A = this chain, B = another copy of it.
């Protein structure tokens, strides 16, 4: 039903143009991304739950809440425009206006987003020139440049697109996102921008986005810190001519495809977490409730002791069961089972007669699975995280975020 497009991006979607340019907010690399929609889009968004919200969050959330149609999204990296007071708010409004005037649209049709250093005014001279350049460079193949321009400490560019076969024809969903520190779901904890040429009205769009975000971006963590600037935006321009309503079979197919794309993006963020050497999938099964499963998966995914053990390829199940014990859920430790991939590590009654060598070999993979059975019920949840390396410390002891 769904097929990923090679070198896919937000501009793989018909009617969407993009660009990514350098204006000097970062030292060398592209730092301004623009998405332009030839036709007005219905739009949905989810935003950080951090009480400290950056100016672009406040402005974009207001627009999404008021269900405005959207024509453009401006994103800058290198500066978060957070904790910058009234001046920072005005800077954000000015950049929104400038995008609108250059594109001949209304400011209320422009979403804005920032990522980078907290607490410093943005260099508006640089940003103004960046906006001009970004508008000039808009193209139907600019999605990859845009994905590059939103990166901060990310090592890998994160851009995808998927074709989805519906009963009435084919639509496309494209997405880009960035990590890779201050990552811990309290909504989404990073930036992601998704486009589609399906036609979906705003309420339905918000519903399907919220569901997908909850099962993907809200289940990743790098360091347990939620940023002041996180947002996920989904734009639907209807250019495919294919309309999706909430009660149709196509809605289910679209929702599944969107979730698949969001999961791919979320996993790419966890895998590229600051200093990460491996992607860790934490699957918690047979829990008394989804809430319990989430609590346990989050506790394991956030435990520095589990994450450092995984970095050292140490089959240290004691730290995993201790993290479960700290999570606050009710369970019997003697009933817990832990598998690394298919390797049985811990069985009921603390039976742990596995081969250390085999376990170590498995943990040396780039992608590993910690499969936990709580044995208090039948609910489950899967989270994604990465290991904790000396490199994470090095990056964060020097980088001013």
Task: Enumerate chain A interface residues (CB-CB to B < 8 A).
Answer: 50-53, 80, 82-86, 88, 117-119, 181-182, 186, 223-228, 302-305, 308-309, 311-312, 314, 316-319, 321-331, 333-334, 346, 349-350, 352, 388-390, 392-394, 396-398, 400-401
User: With the chains together, A318 CA to B116 CA distance in Å?
Assistant: 11
User: With the chains together, A182 CA to B11 CA distance in Å?
Assistant: 47
The distance from the CB of A365 to the nearest CB of chain B, in whole angstroms, is 16
Inter-chain contacts of A397 with B (CB < 8 A): 308-309, 311-312, 314, 389
B312 touches A396 (CB 8 A): yes
Can you list 29 A-B pairs with a CB-CB distance of less than 8 A? A50-B326, A51-B325, A52-B322, A82-B322, A83-B321, A83-B333, A84-B350, A85-B350, A117-B318, A118-B318, A118-B322, A119-B317, A119-B321, A181-B305, A186-B326, A223-B304, A225-B303, A225-B323, A304-B392, A305-B396, A308-B396, A308-B397, A309-B397, A312-B396, A314-B397, A314-B398, A316-B401, A389-B393, A390-B393
Which residue of chain B has the shortest Cβ distance to A275 in the bound complex? Answer: B393
The distance from the CB of A96 to the nearest CB of chain B, in whole angstroms, is 20
User: With the chains together, A352 CA to B87 CA distance in Å?
Assistant: 14
Contact A308:B350 (CB < 8 A) given known A51-B330, A85-B334, A326-B186:
no
Task: Report which residue of A181, A225, A334 has the largest number of chain B beta carbons within 10 angstroms of its beta carbon.
Answer: A225
The distance from the CB of A389 to the nearest CB of chain B, in whole angstroms, is 6
Q: A51-B329, A83-B333, A308-B393 are in contact. List 4 more A-B contacts (CB 8 A).
A: A118-B321, A304-B392, A308-B397, A318-B400
Task: Report which residue of A119, A330, A394 has the largest number of chain B beta carbons within 10 angstroms of its beta carbon.
Answer: A119
A304 touches B50 (CB 8 A): no
Inter-chain contacts of A329 with B (CB < 8 A): 51
B318 touches A119 (CB 8 A): yes
Inter-chain contacts of A328 with B (CB < 8 A): 51
Contact A394:B401 (CB < 8 A) given known A181-B305, A225-B303, A322-B227:
no
Inter-chain contacts of A394 with B (CB < 8 A): 390
Task: Report which residue of A304, A324, A398 has the largest number of chain B beta carbons within 10 angstroms of its beta carbon.
Answer: A304
B349 touches A85 (CB 8 A): yes
User: With the chains together, A279 CA to B223 CA distance in Å?
Assistant: 21
Inter-chain contacts of A326 with B (CB < 8 A): 50-51, 186, 225-226
Inter-chain contacts of A82 with B (CB < 8 A): 318, 322
Quick one: which of B83, B182, B333 contacts A51, CB cutoff 8 A?
B333
B350 touches A119 (CB 8 A): yes
Inter-chain contacts of A224 with B (CB < 8 A): 224, 302-304
The distance from the CB of A298 to the nearest CB of chain B, in whole angstroms, is 12
